[in-house]
Amino acid sequence: MADDVPQRAEVDRVTAATGRDTSPERLSGPELACRTVAEALAALGSSSQGLEAGEARARLGKFGSNRIEAVTREPRWLGLLREFSHFFAIVLWLAAGLAFVAERYQPGEGMAELGYAIIGVILLNGGFSFWQTYRAEQALAALRRLLPLRVEVRRPAGVEVVPAEALVPGDVILLAEGAKVPADCRIIESWGLRVNLATLTGEPLPKARSAEPDWVDDPRQARCLLLAGTLVVAGECAALVYATGMNTAFGQIAHLTQTAGETVSPLQREIRRVSRFVALLALALGAIFFVIGGYVGLSLWASFMFAIGIIVANVPEGLLPTVTLALAMATQRMARRNALVRHLPAVETLGSATVILTDKTGTLTQNRMAVRELFVDGRHRLAGRASAEHDLGCLRAVARHCHSLKFPRGEPHGDPMEIALWEFAGAIPEAGRRVGELPFDTERRRMSVEMRDDSGEGWLWCKGAPEAVLPLCSSWRDGGQSRPLDAAALEAFRRAQEAMADRGLRVLALAWRRLAPGEAAVEQGLELCGLVGLEDPPRPDVQAAVKRCHEAGVRVIMITGDHPHTALALAREVHIVRSATPSVVTGEALQQMDATALSHALDHEELVFARVTPEQKMRIVEALRAKGEIVAVTGDGVNDAPALRTADIGIAMGLSGTDVAREAADIVLLDDHFATIVNAIEEGRAVYENIRKFLTYILTSNIPEIVPYLAFVLLRIPLPLTVIQILAVDLGTDILPALALGAEKPHRDVMRRPPKPRTERLLSWPLLARAYLFLGPLEACAAMAAFFYVMGQGGWYYGAMPPGNDPLYLQATTACLAGIVLAQMMNVFVCRHPILPAWHFPLRENRLLLTALAVEAALLLAIVYTPLGNRLFGTAPLSAAVWLFALPFALLLGVAEETRKWWVRRHR
C-alpha cells in the first residue's frame, strides 16, 4: 500500500510510547477506542481505503476465518455408548447375560425371551436419552446463524462484497441501517449512527456511536466501537475490523456457552440414586440367596436360577421407560400451555425451582417502547388522558416530525424510541417538507429537524435529553400560551424530570421554533413544549404471575443490563419489589464483591441486579447454586446463553429470543409470557408428585415377586412364580397404569406449598415403607393365597414337587400372577394420592387411567386364555372360582390402604 511506511512507523511509535505490543493480534477494543482514527488505522496496518486484496488473503491465513469455532467434544459414538453403560444399564446387561446363559444350559424355560426383553428395555432408555448430546452443536449452529453472511468491504480498488467469514483485522467495512455487525470494529466515519446492543448487554435503548475516541475499560460501553452480533438501527458508518471469530466479544460469550458444563438435574440425580439403590439391593439379595440356596441343599444350577429370579424380581425393569414416557407426556401438556421442553428432566427441575432469575427486557416487558407520561402545562399527566383532554399540537408535531425513521412499506422502521413517539403523535397534517437534519450524537444528546413549506417559512423541531434541550429554550408552552422560561419554571421542569426518572421512565424534552424565510435553522430561542416519559411496558399478567411465584415460595430476582432506576421501577410495578428497602446491586458493585460478600448479598429477600455482564450473570447463578438453591434463569439474548446453560433450568423466549438463547435453554416459552413460567412450575411440581406415585406403584409389586422365591427356598415348595411371569408384570401389565399415574393433573394446592428442599429424596423411607412393608406384603398374601388355593384344589400335598409342565402347576403359577395383577389394579387407585382417599379423585379427571386398566385386564386375559400367552409365559387357563377367590384379596388391599390414609389424616 502507498502509505505502508508511515503506518508502520506509527505502529513503532505507539509501541515505544506505551511499552505494549500493538500488533493486530494483540490489540483490544479499549486500546483502539482511546486512539484517534489515524492511530487506529496505523496500529492495524490499514488505511481508510482498507486492505489490498492480497494482504487480506494473507491475514486470513494468519488469523483464520471469522466464525465461531467449536470446542473439542467427545465423539458421538462415545456419547451413545455412555447411554448404554451407566450403572442401572450394566445391571440390566448382567441380568440379560445370565438369562442367555440359563437358556443355553436349560432351554425351553423362557429365559431367552427374558434376555431379549431386558435388552429391549436398555435400548429404549438409551434411545430416548441420546438426543440430548446434540445440544452443544445446536447452540453453535445458532451462534453462526446470528452473524451476517456477506458484507461490503473497502479496497483501494473499490468496494467489494465478501463473505463475512473472510473478514480479517484491518478490513474497513461499510454498514447501514438494518445491518448486523459481523465483527468487532473501530468506527472511522459515521453519519447519525445508532446501534442496538440488546443481544450483548440486555439494554433495549439504542446507543449513539461515532468515530470520536473514548476512554473506557469495557468495549460494550465504548462510543467508537461496534461489536459483532449487534444491530445498526439508524445511520451509516465505515468501521475498521480489529477482532474476528472467537476473539470478538461475541466469540467470548460463545466460548462461555460451549464450555459451561452440562448441569445434572435434581431428577436425574434422584433417578440415578433410585436405580443404584434398587440395583445394588437386587444384586445383594441375589448373592445372599444364592448362598442360602446352597446351604439348604439346592443344586448349584437351582441356586443359580434362584439368584437370577431374585435379581429380576427386584429390578423394576419398567422404571426408566415409565419415567421417560411420563416426562414426555408432561412435555406435551406443557406444550399445550405454551412451554416447549427441550430437555426431558427439565420438566421436574422447574417444579423444584426455588429461585427465578428473570431478565427484564423482553421477558417481563414487551420490548417495545411506549409513551407513558407527559409533563405539560406545568403538570404531570398520563399520556392517553392528556392526549384526549388537552391541546398538544406542538408536542405532537415535534414527536411526529423529529425522527430518523424510514418507511419502506408504509410502516416505521428504526429506533424503537422514535417509533413510540411517532405512534403517540398520531396522524397530523404535514408541516411542509424535510430540508435538513442536525443528527443526534453523544455530545449534543439531541437532534433537530428543519422543515419548510413552499413559501420558505419553516419550523425547527427538536428533541433530546432535558439537560441538553432546556438551555436552548427561552419560553415554554402553558395552556396554549407562551411563557418565559424563568428560574422557577426551569426548577419545575427539573423536578418533573427527576420524578419521572425515578419511576423508571426515559425522559425527553420536546421543543420547537418558527423559521422565517431565509432564516438559518439555529438551535436557539426554542419554545419548550413539555417532557415525555417513555417506558418499555410490562407484559400482561406478569404481576399476577409474580404473585403466584411468591405464594409458591419461589423467589423472583430481576437481573438486567439496564439502568438501576429503570430496573427498580419495573420491579416495583410488577411486585418483584414490595418493600421500601430493596437491595439494588450494580455490575460495578458486583465486580468488587468476593464470594462471601456475594453470598451475603443474595440473602436479601428483595433483590435487583442491574448493569451486569454475561460473566457476572453466570457468577450469580453459580453463587445461588452453591447456596443450595435450584435456579431457573430466563433470557432472550446472546448475553443470556452462558447463564442459561449453567443454571439448573434455562428458560428462553420463543418469539423475541435469539437462536442462541433458545438452543442453550431447557425450556422455550412459545408466547414469551412470564406467566407461562408459573404454569410450567405447576406442571413440574405435578410431575415430581406423579413420579413418586408410580414409583410406589411399581415398587409395590417387587415384594409379591420376591416372596415366591423365598418360599421356594425356605419352605421347599414348588416355585409359585417364574422369571418370565415376573417380566409380564414389570414390562407388561404395570406399564400403562404407571403411565396413567404419571398423567395425573396438578392438585389444587400444589402452588401453595414451598418448593421441595434440594435434599429431599425421591425414594424416601416413608415411600419405601409404604411400598415394601405395607402394600407389597398385602399383594404377596394375595398371590401366595391364589397359588396355594389352586394347588390345594388339585390335590397337592406338602413335599410334592410337580414337574414344570404339569397342568396343575401351570394353573397355580398363573393364579399367583393373576393375584398380583388384580392387586395392582386396586393399587393404582390408592396410589393416586398418598394421604387423600381415592374417591376424592374422579376417574373423569384422568381418562388414561380407565384405558390403562382396560388394557391391563386385556393383557392378563391374553396371558391366561390364549395359546400364545400360555406358550410365552408358561400359563394355563383359570376357572371362574379362582378369580372369585383372588378378587377379595385385591379389595382387602384397597380397604387396608384407605384405612391407613384415614389414620394418617387423623393424626397429622
3-state DSSP helix/strand/coil % of the chain, to nearest 5: 55, 15, 30
What is the C-alpha end-to-end distance of the chain, expressed in Å? 87
> What are the backbone angles phi and psi of residue 598, rounded to the nearest 5°?
-65, -40
Do residues 676 and 336 make contact, with C-beta atoms less than 8 angstroms apart?
no
Q: Where are the beta strands (DSSP E) in 488-582?
A: 506-515, 526-535, 555-559
Backbone angles phi, psi at 443, to 5 degrees: -80, -50
CA–CA separation, 375 vs 378, rounded Å? 6
Residues 271 and 187 sit within 8 Å (Cβ to Cβ):
no
* Whole-angstrom distance, CA of residue 223 vs CA of residue 227: 11
* Cα distance between residue 201 and residue 614, in whole Å: 8
Take residue 308 and report the three cell numbers written for it: 437370577
Residue type, 223: R
Q: Is 359 known to be catalytic?
A: yes
What grid cell was written down for 783?
A: 398371590
Backbone angles phi, psi at 812, to 5 degrees: -65, -45
User: DSSP letters of 735-778?
Assistant: HHHHHHHHTPPPPTTGGGSPPPPTT--SS-HHHHIIIIIIIHHH
Helix, strand or coil for residue 678? Answer: helix
Q: What is the DSSP letter of 794?
A: T
Q: What are phi and psi of 181, to 5 degrees?
A: -75, 125
Rounded Cα distance between 387 and 391, Å, is: 7
What is the spatial distance between Cα 466 and Cα 384, in angstroms, rounded to a whole number?
22
The one catalytic residue among 184, 359, 415, 672: 359
Q: Grid coordinates representing 883? A: 378369580
Residue 520 CB contacts under 8 Å (≥ 6 apart), including other chains: none
Contact 636, 661 (CB under 8 A): yes
Helices 674-700 & 735-742 angle (0-180, nearest 10) = 150
Burial 772-793 (b: 16+ CB within 10 A, else e): beebbebbbbbbbbbbbbbbeb
Strands 473-478 and 526-535, by their bridges, are parallel
Q: Map grid coordinates 446472546 to a residue.
A: 638
Entry field: residues in the chain = 908
Report CA torsion sign: 827, 832, 837, 839.
Answer: negative
Residue 691, burial from CB neighbour count under 10 angstroms (0-12, 13-18, 19+): buried
Contacts with 270 (C-beta within 8 Å, 6 or more apart), sequence order: 761, 762, 763
> How many other C-beta atoms lie within 10 A of the C-beta of residue 301?
12
Largest CA distance in the chain: 124
Which three cell numbers mark 481? Answer: 400560551
Query: Residues 55, 56, 60, 62: what is their CA dihedral angle, to the nearest 10 degrees?
Result: 30
List, in order, residues 6 or more apart from 385 with CB less than 8 Å away.
none
Q: The C-alpha cell of 31 is what?
A: 486500546
Instruction: Show Cβ contacts of residue 534 under 8 Å, excluding neighbours closer than 6 positions.
Output: 369, 370, 371, 372, 417, 420, 421, 505, 506, 507, 508
**Dist. CA 478–CA 475, nearest whole Å:** 10
Residue 841 buriedness (CB in 10 A; 0-12 / 13-18 / 19+): middle
**Residue numbers annotated as active site:** 359
